[in-house]
Structure 1
Amino acid sequence: MPRFEEKLAIAQQRRSSDIALLLSPRLDRLPLPIQRYDDPFLPFSRAIIEATQDIVCAYIFDFAAYMALAGAGARALERAIGLLDLETVKILHGPFVGPTYSAMTERTAFDVDAITVYRKEDVDYYRTHAPYGAIQCLPAVGNAILFASDQTTIRVTGEDTLFRGHGDDFAEQVRAYILTLRGHA
Protein backbone atom coordinates (compact mmCIF):
# COMPACT_ATOMS: atom_id res chain seq x y z
CA MET A 1 0.00 0.00 0.00
CA PRO A 2 1.53 3.35 -1.02
CA ARG A 3 2.02 6.09 1.52
CA PHE A 4 -0.49 8.93 1.51
CA GLU A 5 1.63 11.35 -0.56
CA GLU A 6 2.37 8.64 -3.13
CA LYS A 7 -1.27 7.63 -3.44
CA LEU A 8 -2.32 11.27 -3.83
CA ALA A 9 0.33 11.91 -6.51
CA ILE A 10 -0.84 8.84 -8.43
CA ALA A 11 -4.50 9.94 -8.19
CA GLN A 12 -3.60 13.47 -9.34
CA GLN A 13 -1.74 12.11 -12.34
CA ARG A 14 -4.37 9.54 -13.35
CA ARG A 15 -7.24 12.00 -13.07
CA SER A 16 -5.32 15.02 -14.34
CA SER A 17 -6.61 16.94 -11.37
CA ASP A 18 -5.34 18.59 -8.21
CA ILE A 19 -8.90 19.23 -7.01
CA ALA A 20 -10.32 17.53 -3.95
CA LEU A 21 -14.05 17.72 -3.33
CA LEU A 22 -15.09 18.72 0.16
CA LEU A 23 -18.16 16.67 1.09
CA SER A 24 -19.84 18.75 3.76
CA PRO A 25 -23.59 18.07 3.60
CA ARG A 26 -25.91 20.55 5.34
CA LEU A 27 -29.54 19.70 6.02
CA ASP A 28 -30.75 23.21 5.26
CA ARG A 29 -29.03 23.30 1.85
CA LEU A 30 -29.76 19.84 0.41
CA PRO A 31 -31.37 19.68 -3.06
CA LEU A 32 -35.10 19.01 -3.15
CA PRO A 33 -34.83 15.40 -4.49
CA ILE A 34 -32.62 14.47 -1.51
CA GLN A 35 -34.79 16.11 1.14
CA ARG A 36 -37.36 13.31 0.91
CA TYR A 37 -34.99 10.80 2.56
CA ASP A 38 -35.10 10.20 6.32
CA ASP A 39 -31.30 9.94 6.38
CA PRO A 40 -30.36 12.15 3.42
CA PHE A 41 -26.57 12.38 3.74
CA LEU A 42 -25.79 8.99 2.18
CA PRO A 43 -27.93 9.41 -0.97
CA PHE A 44 -26.59 12.95 -1.35
CA SER A 45 -22.98 11.77 -0.99
CA ARG A 46 -23.60 8.84 -3.37
CA ALA A 47 -25.00 11.09 -6.11
CA ILE A 48 -22.09 13.52 -5.81
CA ILE A 49 -19.48 10.73 -5.80
CA GLU A 50 -21.01 8.99 -8.80
CA ALA A 51 -20.97 12.26 -10.76
CA THR A 52 -17.42 13.31 -9.87
CA GLN A 53 -15.21 10.35 -8.98
CA ASP A 54 -13.36 10.39 -12.29
CA ILE A 55 -12.50 14.12 -12.19
CA VAL A 56 -11.23 14.77 -8.65
CA CYS A 57 -8.06 13.47 -7.02
CA ALA A 58 -9.58 13.10 -3.55
CA TYR A 59 -12.60 13.48 -1.33
CA ILE A 60 -12.45 15.30 1.96
CA PHE A 61 -15.23 14.26 4.31
CA ASP A 62 -16.24 16.94 6.82
CA PHE A 63 -16.48 15.02 10.09
CA ALA A 64 -18.50 17.71 11.89
CA ALA A 65 -21.05 18.02 9.06
CA TYR A 66 -21.79 14.29 9.09
CA MET A 67 -21.91 14.19 12.89
CA ALA A 68 -24.75 16.74 12.80
CA LEU A 69 -26.99 13.69 12.29
CA ALA A 70 -25.40 11.77 15.20
CA GLY A 71 -25.50 7.99 14.63
CA ALA A 72 -27.18 8.28 11.23
CA GLY A 73 -24.47 10.72 10.17
CA ALA A 74 -21.70 8.38 11.34
CA ARG A 75 -23.24 5.54 9.31
CA ALA A 76 -23.63 7.80 6.28
CA LEU A 77 -19.99 8.88 6.58
CA GLU A 78 -18.74 5.31 6.88
CA ARG A 79 -20.83 4.16 3.92
CA ALA A 80 -19.96 7.15 1.75
CA ILE A 81 -16.27 6.46 2.29
CA GLY A 82 -16.96 2.83 1.34
CA LEU A 83 -18.38 3.91 -2.02
CA LEU A 84 -14.97 5.03 -3.24
CA ASP A 85 -12.65 2.77 -5.20
CA LEU A 86 -9.23 1.83 -3.86
CA GLU A 87 -7.45 4.37 -6.08
CA THR A 88 -9.41 7.33 -4.75
CA VAL A 89 -7.84 9.29 -1.89
CA LYS A 90 -10.06 9.58 1.18
CA ILE A 91 -9.40 12.27 3.78
CA LEU A 92 -11.30 12.89 7.01
CA HIS A 93 -11.47 16.59 7.88
CA GLY A 94 -11.45 17.73 11.52
CA PRO A 95 -9.05 19.53 11.55
CA PHE A 96 -7.56 17.49 14.36
CA VAL A 97 -4.79 18.44 16.77
CA GLY A 98 -2.23 15.94 17.99
CA PRO A 99 -1.29 12.35 17.16
CA THR A 100 -4.11 10.62 19.01
CA TYR A 101 -6.48 10.60 16.03
CA SER A 102 -4.50 8.11 13.96
CA ALA A 103 -6.92 5.32 14.89
CA MET A 104 -9.65 7.10 12.90
CA THR A 105 -7.79 6.24 9.70
CA GLU A 106 -7.74 2.49 10.32
CA ARG A 107 -9.99 -0.10 8.67
CA THR A 108 -11.77 -0.69 11.97
CA ALA A 109 -12.74 3.00 12.06
CA PHE A 110 -13.37 5.21 9.01
CA ASP A 111 -10.73 3.62 6.73
CA VAL A 112 -9.35 6.82 5.24
CA ASP A 113 -5.93 7.58 3.80
CA ALA A 114 -5.36 10.69 5.89
CA ILE A 115 -6.87 13.20 8.27
CA THR A 116 -6.61 16.96 8.24
CA VAL A 117 -4.63 18.51 11.04
CA TYR A 118 -4.26 22.05 12.25
CA ARG A 119 -0.57 22.17 13.15
CA LYS A 120 2.46 21.56 10.94
CA GLU A 121 4.15 19.39 13.60
CA ASP A 122 1.19 17.00 13.46
CA VAL A 123 1.77 16.48 9.71
CA ASP A 124 5.34 15.50 10.54
CA TYR A 125 4.18 12.99 13.16
CA TYR A 126 1.79 11.24 10.80
CA ARG A 127 4.37 11.18 7.99
CA THR A 128 6.86 9.33 10.21
CA HIS A 129 4.26 6.87 11.50
CA ALA A 130 3.12 5.17 8.29
CA PRO A 131 0.60 4.15 7.12
CA TYR A 132 -1.08 7.18 8.67
CA GLY A 133 -1.27 10.32 6.60
CA ALA A 134 -2.13 13.90 7.37
CA ILE A 135 -2.51 17.13 5.50
CA GLN A 136 -2.52 20.60 7.02
CA CYS A 137 -5.27 23.18 6.56
CA LEU A 138 -3.99 26.44 5.11
CA PRO A 139 -5.81 29.76 4.77
CA ALA A 140 -8.33 30.01 1.94
CA VAL A 141 -7.19 31.52 -1.35
CA GLY A 142 -9.95 32.77 -3.62
CA ASN A 143 -12.63 30.09 -3.82
CA ALA A 144 -10.27 27.27 -2.89
CA ILE A 145 -9.18 25.99 0.46
CA LEU A 146 -5.62 24.72 0.36
CA PHE A 147 -4.27 21.72 2.20
CA ALA A 148 -0.61 20.82 2.14
CA SER A 149 2.14 18.57 3.32
CA ASP A 150 5.78 19.27 2.45
CA GLN A 151 5.39 17.39 -0.84
CA THR A 152 1.79 17.97 -1.88
CA THR A 153 -0.72 20.76 -2.31
CA ILE A 154 -4.30 20.21 -3.34
CA ARG A 155 -7.09 22.62 -4.16
CA VAL A 156 -10.22 21.88 -2.21
CA THR A 157 -13.61 23.02 -3.36
CA GLY A 158 -15.59 25.18 -0.98
CA GLU A 159 -18.98 24.23 0.41
CA ASP A 160 -20.68 26.30 -2.29
CA THR A 161 -19.58 23.72 -4.87
CA LEU A 162 -21.88 21.08 -3.37
CA PHE A 163 -24.99 23.22 -3.51
CA ARG A 164 -24.90 24.55 -7.06
CA GLY A 165 -28.31 23.12 -7.94
CA HIS A 166 -31.52 22.24 -6.15
CA GLY A 167 -33.27 20.06 -8.72
CA ASP A 168 -32.75 16.58 -10.11
CA ASP A 169 -29.58 17.67 -11.90
CA PHE A 170 -27.74 18.87 -8.77
CA ALA A 171 -24.92 16.31 -9.12
CA GLU A 172 -24.40 17.15 -12.79
CA GLN A 173 -24.13 20.83 -11.88
CA VAL A 174 -21.42 19.99 -9.33
CA ARG A 175 -19.57 18.00 -12.00
CA ALA A 176 -19.80 20.86 -14.53
CA TYR A 177 -18.47 23.34 -11.98
CA ILE A 178 -15.50 21.12 -11.08
CA LEU A 179 -14.68 20.72 -14.76
CA THR A 180 -14.64 24.52 -14.98
CA LEU A 181 -12.27 24.70 -11.99
CA ARG A 182 -9.97 22.14 -13.60
CA GLY A 183 -9.73 24.31 -16.67
CA HIS A 184 -8.45 27.18 -14.54
CA ALA A 185 -5.65 25.29 -12.78
Structure 2
Amino acid sequence: MTIKTKFQEKLDKATKKNNSLLCVGLDTDLEKLPQHLKAEKEPIFTFNKSIINATADVVCAYKLNIAFYEAYGLDSLKQLKKTIEYLHFSFGHIPIILDAKRADVPNTAKMYAKAMFEYWDADAVTILPFLGKDSVEPFFEYKDKSPIIIIKTSNKDASTFENIHTAEEVKKWMFPNIALFVGATDPEALKNVRTLFPKSPILTAGIGAQGASIEKAVTAGIDKNGNNLICNSSREIIYAGKDADFVEKACQKACEMRNIINSYR
Protein backbone atom coordinates (compact mmCIF):
# COMPACT_ATOMS: atom_id res chain seq x y z
CA MET A 1 0.00 0.00 0.00
CA THR A 2 1.17 3.53 -0.79
CA ILE A 3 -0.25 6.89 0.25
CA LYS A 4 -0.14 10.32 -1.37
CA THR A 5 2.26 12.32 0.77
CA LYS A 6 2.88 16.00 0.17
CA PHE A 7 6.15 14.90 -1.40
CA GLN A 8 4.28 12.62 -3.82
CA GLU A 9 1.72 15.34 -4.56
CA LYS A 10 4.47 17.86 -5.31
CA LEU A 11 6.33 15.31 -7.42
CA ASP A 12 3.21 14.52 -9.45
CA LYS A 13 2.47 18.21 -9.95
CA ALA A 14 6.01 19.16 -10.99
CA THR A 15 6.33 16.11 -13.25
CA LYS A 16 3.12 17.03 -15.07
CA LYS A 17 3.65 20.81 -15.12
CA ASN A 18 7.22 20.60 -16.46
CA ASN A 19 6.81 17.32 -18.37
CA SER A 20 9.93 16.14 -16.60
CA LEU A 21 11.58 13.33 -14.66
CA LEU A 22 14.77 15.37 -14.22
CA CYS A 23 16.06 16.26 -10.78
CA VAL A 24 18.85 18.83 -10.53
CA GLY A 25 21.33 18.06 -7.78
CA LEU A 26 22.63 21.14 -6.00
CA ASP A 27 25.89 19.54 -4.87
CA THR A 28 27.49 22.94 -4.68
CA ASP A 29 31.25 22.94 -4.13
CA LEU A 30 32.61 26.35 -3.16
CA GLU A 31 35.90 25.63 -4.92
CA LYS A 32 34.14 24.96 -8.24
CA LEU A 33 32.05 28.11 -8.37
CA PRO A 34 32.67 30.62 -11.17
CA GLN A 35 35.42 32.96 -10.09
CA HIS A 36 33.24 36.08 -10.20
CA LEU A 37 30.87 34.60 -7.59
CA LYS A 38 33.54 33.86 -5.00
CA ALA A 39 33.65 37.51 -3.94
CA GLU A 40 29.91 37.49 -3.14
CA LYS A 41 28.82 37.64 0.50
CA GLU A 42 26.83 34.42 0.02
CA PRO A 43 28.43 32.76 -3.01
CA ILE A 44 26.81 29.36 -2.52
CA PHE A 45 23.29 30.75 -2.18
CA THR A 46 23.83 33.14 -5.09
CA PHE A 47 24.96 30.22 -7.26
CA ASN A 48 22.10 27.97 -6.13
CA LYS A 49 19.49 30.65 -6.69
CA SER A 50 20.80 31.28 -10.20
CA ILE A 51 20.73 27.57 -11.07
CA ILE A 52 17.22 27.20 -9.63
CA ASN A 53 15.86 30.17 -11.56
CA ALA A 54 17.40 28.81 -14.76
CA THR A 55 16.04 25.27 -14.39
CA ALA A 56 12.79 25.48 -12.40
CA ASP A 57 10.61 25.00 -15.48
CA VAL A 58 12.32 21.78 -16.58
CA VAL A 59 12.67 19.77 -13.34
CA CYS A 60 10.51 17.49 -11.22
CA ALA A 61 12.62 17.95 -8.06
CA TYR A 62 15.78 19.39 -6.54
CA LYS A 63 18.21 17.33 -4.48
CA LEU A 64 20.68 18.94 -2.09
CA ASN A 65 23.53 16.80 -0.79
CA ILE A 66 24.17 18.01 2.74
CA ALA A 67 27.83 16.92 2.69
CA PHE A 68 28.73 19.70 0.26
CA TYR A 69 27.41 22.24 2.77
CA GLU A 70 28.76 20.62 5.94
CA ALA A 71 32.24 20.61 4.40
CA TYR A 72 32.48 24.40 4.50
CA GLY A 73 31.08 24.94 7.97
CA LEU A 74 28.35 26.99 9.57
CA ASP A 75 28.21 29.77 6.97
CA SER A 76 27.69 27.24 4.19
CA LEU A 77 24.96 25.48 6.18
CA LYS A 78 23.19 28.82 6.59
CA GLN A 79 23.24 29.14 2.81
CA LEU A 80 21.76 25.65 2.51
CA LYS A 81 18.93 26.73 4.80
CA LYS A 82 18.43 29.88 2.74
CA THR A 83 18.33 27.82 -0.47
CA ILE A 84 15.62 25.55 0.93
CA GLU A 85 13.61 28.54 2.13
CA TYR A 86 13.92 30.12 -1.32
CA LEU A 87 12.68 26.96 -3.01
CA HIS A 88 9.66 26.68 -0.72
CA PHE A 89 8.78 30.35 -1.17
CA SER A 90 9.38 30.75 -4.90
CA PHE A 91 8.78 27.24 -6.27
CA GLY A 92 6.62 25.57 -3.66
CA HIS A 93 5.25 23.04 -6.15
CA ILE A 94 8.70 21.47 -6.64
CA PRO A 95 9.74 18.87 -4.04
CA ILE A 96 13.00 19.21 -2.12
CA ILE A 97 15.10 16.12 -1.44
CA LEU A 98 17.80 16.36 1.21
CA ASP A 99 20.47 13.78 0.46
CA ALA A 100 21.78 13.01 3.95
CA LYS A 101 21.97 9.18 4.08
CA ARG A 102 21.27 9.12 7.81
CA ALA A 103 21.22 5.93 9.88
CA ASP A 104 21.43 5.24 13.61
CA VAL A 105 19.77 3.56 16.58
CA PRO A 106 16.15 4.63 17.18
CA ASN A 107 16.76 7.32 19.82
CA THR A 108 19.33 9.04 17.62
CA ALA A 109 17.35 8.43 14.42
CA LYS A 110 14.46 10.33 16.01
CA MET A 111 16.70 13.40 16.29
CA TYR A 112 17.95 12.98 12.72
CA ALA A 113 14.36 12.81 11.49
CA LYS A 114 13.44 15.92 13.47
CA ALA A 115 16.40 17.79 11.97
CA MET A 116 15.74 16.71 8.38
CA PHE A 117 11.99 17.25 8.34
CA GLU A 118 11.45 20.04 10.87
CA TYR A 119 14.57 22.23 10.90
CA TRP A 120 15.70 21.69 7.30
CA ASP A 121 12.08 21.33 6.12
CA ALA A 122 12.86 18.81 3.39
CA ASP A 123 10.03 17.00 1.61
CA ALA A 124 12.10 13.82 1.41
CA VAL A 125 15.39 12.59 2.83
CA THR A 126 17.69 9.70 1.94
CA ILE A 127 18.25 7.16 4.72
CA LEU A 128 20.16 3.90 5.11
CA PRO A 129 18.29 0.70 6.08
CA PHE A 130 21.21 -1.41 7.28
CA LEU A 131 20.54 -0.96 11.01
CA GLY A 132 17.11 -2.52 10.59
CA LYS A 133 13.48 -1.47 10.67
CA ASP A 134 13.52 0.23 14.07
CA SER A 135 16.31 2.55 12.92
CA VAL A 136 14.18 4.06 10.14
CA GLU A 137 10.77 4.08 11.84
CA PRO A 138 11.24 7.61 13.29
CA PHE A 139 11.50 8.99 9.75
CA PHE A 140 8.29 7.30 8.65
CA GLU A 141 6.36 8.87 11.52
CA TYR A 142 6.30 12.04 9.39
CA LYS A 143 3.34 10.94 7.29
CA ASP A 144 3.46 13.84 4.81
CA LYS A 145 7.14 13.28 4.10
CA SER A 146 8.82 10.53 2.09
CA PRO A 147 11.92 8.88 3.50
CA ILE A 148 13.97 7.53 0.59
CA ILE A 149 15.57 4.22 1.51
CA ILE A 150 18.91 3.53 -0.13
CA ILE A 151 18.78 0.16 -1.89
CA LYS A 152 21.72 0.30 -4.31
CA THR A 153 24.15 3.18 -4.81
CA SER A 154 25.99 3.98 -8.04
CA ASN A 155 29.60 3.49 -6.90
CA LYS A 156 31.59 0.53 -8.25
CA ASP A 157 31.81 -1.34 -4.92
CA ALA A 158 28.14 -0.96 -4.02
CA SER A 159 27.43 -4.68 -4.46
CA THR A 160 29.71 -5.56 -1.55
CA PHE A 161 26.78 -5.08 0.82
CA GLU A 162 23.88 -3.74 -1.27
CA ASN A 163 21.71 -6.18 -3.22
CA ILE A 164 18.13 -7.15 -4.02
CA HIS A 165 17.83 -8.80 -0.59
CA THR A 166 17.80 -5.28 0.87
CA ALA A 167 14.77 -4.32 -1.22
CA GLU A 168 12.97 -7.57 -0.38
CA GLU A 169 13.43 -6.97 3.35
CA VAL A 170 12.37 -3.33 3.08
CA LYS A 171 9.22 -4.43 1.22
CA LYS A 172 8.19 -6.43 4.32
CA TRP A 173 8.23 -3.27 6.44
CA MET A 174 5.08 -2.00 4.69
CA PHE A 175 5.73 1.72 5.08
CA PRO A 176 3.04 3.49 2.99
CA ASN A 177 5.03 6.72 2.47
CA ILE A 178 8.19 5.03 1.24
CA ALA A 179 10.44 6.04 -1.64
CA LEU A 180 13.57 4.23 -2.82
CA PHE A 181 17.01 5.02 -4.20
CA VAL A 182 18.66 2.82 -6.82
CA GLY A 183 21.70 3.92 -8.80
CA ALA A 184 21.30 4.19 -12.56
CA THR A 185 24.51 2.22 -13.04
CA ASP A 186 22.57 -0.98 -12.26
CA PRO A 187 19.44 -1.05 -14.46
CA GLU A 188 18.72 -4.65 -13.46
CA ALA A 189 18.45 -3.58 -9.82
CA LEU A 190 16.22 -0.69 -10.89
CA LYS A 191 13.95 -3.09 -12.74
CA ASN A 192 13.76 -5.46 -9.76
CA VAL A 193 12.98 -2.67 -7.31
CA ARG A 194 10.28 -1.27 -9.61
CA THR A 195 8.70 -4.72 -9.71
CA LEU A 196 8.70 -4.89 -5.91
CA PHE A 197 7.44 -1.31 -5.53
CA PRO A 198 5.20 -0.64 -8.58
CA LYS A 199 3.72 2.62 -7.26
CA SER A 200 6.51 4.14 -5.15
CA PRO A 201 8.80 6.98 -6.25
CA ILE A 202 12.31 5.86 -7.14
CA LEU A 203 15.23 8.27 -7.06
CA THR A 204 18.13 7.37 -9.31
CA ALA A 205 21.50 8.97 -10.00
CA GLY A 206 24.55 8.36 -12.13
CA ILE A 207 23.13 9.39 -15.51
CA GLY A 208 25.45 12.38 -15.84
CA ALA A 209 29.09 12.43 -14.82
CA GLN A 210 28.99 8.77 -13.74
CA GLY A 211 28.07 7.68 -17.25
CA ALA A 212 25.07 5.40 -16.73
CA SER A 213 22.78 4.71 -19.70
CA ILE A 214 19.77 7.03 -19.59
CA GLU A 215 17.75 4.70 -21.80
CA LYS A 216 18.34 1.65 -19.60
CA ALA A 217 17.70 3.56 -16.38
CA VAL A 218 14.47 5.13 -17.57
CA THR A 219 12.97 2.02 -19.13
CA ALA A 220 13.83 0.00 -16.01
CA GLY A 221 12.69 2.53 -13.44
CA ILE A 222 9.50 4.22 -14.64
CA ASP A 223 6.11 3.04 -13.41
CA LYS A 224 3.34 1.82 -15.73
CA ASN A 225 2.37 5.43 -16.51
CA GLY A 226 5.90 6.52 -17.36
CA ASN A 227 6.29 8.45 -14.10
CA ASN A 228 7.54 8.13 -10.51
CA LEU A 229 11.20 8.03 -11.50
CA ILE A 230 13.39 10.91 -10.32
CA CYS A 231 16.52 11.10 -12.48
CA ASN A 232 19.14 13.15 -10.69
CA SER A 233 22.01 14.90 -12.41
CA SER A 234 24.33 17.24 -10.52
CA ARG A 235 27.77 18.06 -11.90
CA GLU A 236 26.73 17.60 -15.52
CA ILE A 237 24.25 20.46 -15.16
CA ILE A 238 25.41 22.86 -12.48
CA TYR A 239 29.00 22.98 -13.78
CA ALA A 240 28.12 22.94 -17.48
CA GLY A 241 29.48 26.49 -17.66
CA LYS A 242 32.62 27.65 -15.90
CA ASP A 243 32.35 31.43 -16.04
CA ALA A 244 29.66 34.10 -16.49
CA ASP A 245 27.84 31.74 -18.87
CA PHE A 246 27.11 29.20 -16.11
CA VAL A 247 23.40 30.08 -15.92
CA GLU A 248 22.84 29.79 -19.67
CA LYS A 249 24.85 26.56 -19.90
CA ALA A 250 23.01 25.00 -16.94
CA CYS A 251 19.67 25.81 -18.54
CA GLN A 252 20.74 24.34 -21.87
CA LYS A 253 22.07 21.15 -20.30
CA ALA A 254 19.00 20.69 -18.09
CA CYS A 255 16.66 21.10 -21.09
CA GLU A 256 18.75 18.67 -23.09
CA MET A 257 18.72 16.02 -20.35
CA ARG A 258 15.00 16.47 -19.67
CA ASN A 259 14.27 15.88 -23.35
CA ILE A 260 16.56 12.84 -23.60
CA ILE A 261 14.94 11.29 -20.53
CA ASN A 262 11.47 11.95 -21.95
CA SER A 263 12.36 10.22 -25.21
CA TYR A 264 12.52 6.90 -23.32
CA ARG A 265 9.33 7.27 -21.22
- Normalising by structure 1, what TM-score? 0.85
Distance 1:123 1:154 in 2: 22
Are residues 1:162 and 2:242 paired?
A: no
2:99 is matched with 93
Task: Evaluate the alpha carbon distance shift between residue 105 and residue 58 of structure 1 in structure 2; reply closer, same or farther with a 3 A threshold.
Answer: same
Tell me what 2:75 maps to. 72
1:61 CA drift (Å): 0.8
Q: Does the 8 Å contact 1:126/1:134 carry over to 2?
A: yes
Q: What amino acid sits opposite 1:116 in the alignment? A: T
- Please tell me the root mean square deviation across aligned C-alpha atoms, in Å: 2.7
Residues 98 and 122, structure 2, Cα contact 8 Å, conserved in 1: yes
C-alpha deviations, 1:33-59, integer Å up to 9, x for none?
212224421111111111111111111
Deviations 1:124-182 (CA, angstroms, capped at 9, x unpaired): 87456402312233224352588x8x993210003232111112120111110010011
**Partner SS, residue 181 of structure 1:** helix
Which amino acid counterpart does residue 133 of structure 1 have in structure 2?
S
> C-alpha separation between the residues in 1 aligned to 2:242 and 2:258?
23
Bigger relative contact order (CA 8 A; separation at least 6): 1
Match of 1:8 among 1, 8, 11: 11
Give CA-to-partner distance per residue, 1:97-128, whole Å, 9 cap, x none. 25432212434x11110111233857787456
- Aligned partner letter, 1:88: I
1:113 alignment counterpart: 123
- Contact map agreement 2:125 2:147 (CA 8 A) in 1: yes
Q: CA shift at 1:32, angstroms?
A: 1.9
Counterpart residue type for residue 113 of structure 2: S
With normalisation by structure 2, the TM-score equals 0.61
- Partner of residue 143 from structure 2, selected from 130, 137, 145: 130
Q: Helix, strand or coil: the match of 2:93?
A: coil
Q: Tell me, in whole angstroms, the C-alpha distance in 2 between the residues paired with 1:118 and 1:26.
A: 24
Could you tell which deviates more after superposition, 72-81 or 129-138?
Answer: 129-138
Contact 1:102–1:132 (Cα < 8 Å) also in 2: no
The match for 1:33 is: 36
Query: Does the 8 Å contact 1:23/1:162 carry over to 2?
Result: yes
Query: Residues of 2 paired with 1:27 and 1:53: CA distance?
Result: 22
Q: Aligned pairs, how many? A: 182
CA distance in 1, matches of 2:148, 2:56: 20
Instruction: Extract unaligned runs of 5+ from structure 1.
Output: none
- Quote the offset at 1:2 in angstroms: 4.5
* Structure with larger Rg: 2
Q: Distance in 2 between matches of 1:105 and 1:11?
A: 22
Counterpart residue identity of residue 131, structure 1: D
Structure 2's unaligned 5+ residue stretches are 150-180, 186-205, 211-216
Q: Hey, what's the Cα distance between the residues in 1 that align with 2:33 and 2:93?
A: 28
